[in-house]
Every structure is written in structure tokens, then in C-alpha cells.
Amino acid sequence: MKKYELLQDDFIIKNGKKLYRIRAIRDFGIVKAGAMGGYIESEKNLSHDGNCWVADHGLVYEKGQVFGDGQVAGNGWVCGNGRVSGHGWVFGNGKVAGHGRVFGTGWVAGDGIVAKYDLDSGNCRA
């Protein structure tokens, strides 16, 4: 069952990609129906399963994916083939790009970057 919708009339252009703001259409986790989220390029970027969410000014595009209970918030980005899953968080100005992965209880914050084939599973913080 879907948990959010793409708002076709509320979008931004990032690196030549059209990213749509999302809005929750049902309650899940701490997100309530009607809550406005961040921006994604397509439904391939954010799973409808679990409690994953893109909030605030978070961006997920290209082949980036957020699933499980992963969270992107603040001005966080996930792009390239980046993945955020488990209880992973990307926030502040954190970025996950290339083939970077944030999972388990890992997080990226401030101006931290997880890129190429970097992994953050919770034993380190970027």
C-alpha cells in the first residue's frame, strides 16, 4: 500500500533532474498523513514499505534509494547509486553518492560524505 504521493506541481530542478516534493497519504512511523516531505525523482527512490522517509529539504535522485527505516532530512542528499537503509540517517548537509551505503545505525551529518564504495554501518560516523 502506498504511503506517499508525488506532487506534480511542486518540484525543483537539481543537476538537470526534476525532483518532486512528496506528501504522506497515510500514517506510518512518526509521519502523519498530510505531512510534507522532501524531494525525490521517482517512486524508485523511496520505498513504500517500512518507515523510511525523506523530510525537510532532503533530496533523493538518480538511482539513489531509501528503504527499510532509512531517513534523509535537513539538506541531506542521496544520489548516484547511493543507498540508505536499516536505521541509517543522512541529515544536515550529509551526502551519500556513488555506490556509498549507510545502513544499520550509521549516519552521515554536517558536511560528511559517503561515496564510491564507502560503507557506514553504525561503527563509524561521517
The pLDDT value given to residue 111: 87
Using the predicted structure, report yes or no on whether residue 125 has a pLDDT greater than 80: no
pLDDT of residue 113: 86
Query: Is 126 domain-assigned?
Result: no
CATH for 32: 2.160.10
Task: Report the alpha-carbon distance of residue 57 to residue 89 in Å, rounded.
Answer: 14
In terms of residue numbers, what domain contains 19? 4-120
Q: Which is nearest to 90 in space by CA: 126, 117, 124? A: 126
- The reported pLDDT for the residue numbered 121 is 57
Q: Is residue 120 pLDDT above 60, yes or no?
A: no
- Is 125 part of any domain? no
108 part of a folded domain: yes
- State the pTM of this model: 0.93
Q: Give the model confidence (pLDDT) of 33-70 as tens digits.
A: 999 999 999 999 999 999 999 999 999 999 999 999 99
Residue 126 has pLDDT above 50, yes or no: no
SS3 track for the chain: CCCEEEEEEEEEEECCEEEEEEEECCCECCECCCCEEEEECCCCCECCCCCCEECCCCEECCCCEECCCCEECCCCEECCCCEECCCCEECCCCEECCCCEECCCCEECCCCEECCCCEECCCCEC
Tell me, what's the pLDDT at 60?
Answer: 98
Does residue 28 lie in a domain region?
yes
For residue 3, which of 42, 52, 63, 38 has the smallest C-alpha distance? 52
**What's the number of domains the chain is made of?**
1
Q: Are 108 and 89 in contact (CB under 8 A)?
A: yes
Q: State residue 118's pLDDT score.
A: 59
What is the tens place of the pLDDT at every residue in 88-117?
999 999 999 999 999 888 899 988 888 876
